[in-house]
Structures are given as structure tokens and as C-alpha cells.
Amino acid sequence: MKLMECVPNFSEGRDKTVLEAIASAIRSVKNAVLLDVDPGADTNRTVFTLAGEPEAVVEAAFQAIKKASELIDMSKHHGEHPRMGATDVCPFIPISGMTMEECAEYARKLGKRVGEELGIPVYLYENAASKEEWRNLANVRSGEYEALPQKAQDPAWKPDFGPHAFNPRSGATAISAREFLIAYNINLNTRDKKKAHALALTIRERGKPARDEAGKLIRDADGNRVIIPGLFSHCKAVGWYIDSYDRAQISINLTNYKVTPPHLVLEKVRELAAEMGVQVTGSELVGLIPKASLL
């Protein structure tokens, strides 16, 4: 039996009425099951997880995106997490009996319908990307919602589907096919966002710019910044401050748990934090996690 997961992220984490309306839209579709709803007030963002037969999952995702476009106004949105649309991202993940390319085809199918029927610009990323520079979500979402008016004037930012125009209410949506992603946050006993971000730069795959003892950037013979590689591959991380926790947090996305599982990252952060005079006080999962990654 073919099974596919979908993990749409919506730019609303506080209004329960809006979230329940989106959940109801998903539940209305037969053979698609809503598995989890994980809202965040500080990020003002909610991660939904659904799974089922591929065609049903695509239909449920469309209905959810449509409902979000009706209820979420991006011109009034503020939150800690990077975002560019009412439905910010909508990835498909193969669970069983499916290939990644099949998921990518479903991503294109959904993107076309969202663009044509809802008038929302759609960018394909990761395994569904139409161009190499859009494989990385961070590139697609650069400048966030606030950059969309300028992108609407730039031919290089013509979306894969939908109008090449600024949609002030719904923004733009990124749709993809990808492997399981573990959204995992580590809390620290400090309010200092800089310490959390320094730890994030150390562990993330992208690494950080090298600096001399005076704090100035180190450049190579060609004038390019020298980058110190991060400790973990398939790891994206950022440090921020969470009001409701009254402490700083490292927000982490692990994109291949078979290479970099959560427990290794947690133990290394504990070690690095202690060297900074900071303690890890706990961690949290956003959404669901594959059982195999814990075993």
C-alpha cells in the first residue's frame, strides 16, 4: 500500500479558531489522517502532520492551504520563525511503497493547483526543485515575506506556479518532496540569545565565519570569508529567545536522522554549553519523529 506523509507549516500559532478550521478541512478528506497539530505562540507558527493514500493527502493539503488563505493575513503576521506565506511550507515525504520522485510529482501537482486556483505564488524546493539554487529552502525563503514585493519585480524569482505577483494576504508557499525532517529544540538556562546562536553556528552543517582574536572576519587570498565547518552534517540550526520560556533556545532541523540523530546533537550541545558556563535544561520535539531515530 502506498502511504505518504505531509507536514504543512502555517503562519499562525495563537488563534485556536483558525487552527481548528484548518484541522477540520484536513479531517474532511477521506483516507487522509491528521496525526498531530503542534502550535507555537512565540514562533506564531503551527506544524500539522497528516498521512494516508497519496491522492487523499494531496487533496487534504490543498484544502488546508485554501482554508489558511482565507483565514490568515500575512500583512499582519509577526513571529520568531522565518516565514513567507500563510502556508509557509508544504513538504511530502514517502512512508511506504513510494519513491521520492513520486512524491515530487505530487508536489508539482499540488503546486500547480494552488497557483492556478488560489492565485498564490508557489516555489518548489528540495527534491521537487526546478533549479539547483532552490533546493535549499533557506534560499527560496530569503528575505522572507517582506522581500516578496521586490521578488515580484525580478524575473529571476518567477515562481514555478501561480502569478509572478505579490500576494499581500497569502504571501508565497514552498512545496517539496523530502526525507523525514526532525524539528528539535534545545533549551538553555540563559536569556542570552547570542550564546544560543553561537552554539547553533557551531553545530550546524553550514558552519560559521572564522574570526581572529580581535573578532574580525578572516579572509583567504581571494578575499573570500574563511568558513569553519559545522560539527554535524544534515543539521540546520539557529539560536533565538523564547518569551514564554523566558530563556534562549537552539532551534534545530535534522534532515537525515540516519547520519545525525537527535541524541548525538543533544550530548554535544550539553558539552559545548558547559564550556560556555551554560546548562541545557531540556529539549522539545516539534511535530512527530520516526521511531527508528530513537531506537
Q: Which residues are catalytic?
A: 81
H, E, C per residue of 137-167: HHHHCCCCHHHHHHHCCCHHHCCCECCCCCC
Instruction: Classify the C-alpha dihedral 117-121-125-128 as positive or negative.
Output: positive
Instruction: Classify the C-alpha dihedral 125-128-130-135 as positive or negative.
Output: positive
Beta bridge partners, 211, equal 217
d(C-alpha 10, C-alpha 83), whole Å: 9
Q: Write out the three cell numbers for 206.
A: 553550514
Coil/strand/helix, residue 3? strand
Q: How many residues in the chain?
A: 295
Question: Which residues are within 8 A (CB) of 52 and not within 5 positions of it... i.e. 6 or more apart?
Answer: 3, 4, 31, 32, 33, 60
Q: Write out the three cell numbers for 81.
A: 520563525
> Closest Cα to residue 245, out of 173, 196, 178, 174?
196
d(C-alpha 82, C-alpha 15), whole Å: 19
Q: How far is CA 263 from CA 182, 190, 288, in A?
A: 12, 21, 16
DSSP secondary structure letters along 169-191: TTB-EEEEE----EEEEEEES--
d(C-alpha 257, C-alpha 144), whole Å: 27
- What Rg, from alpha-carbon coordinates, does the chain have? 19
DSSP 8-state assignment for residue 264 = H
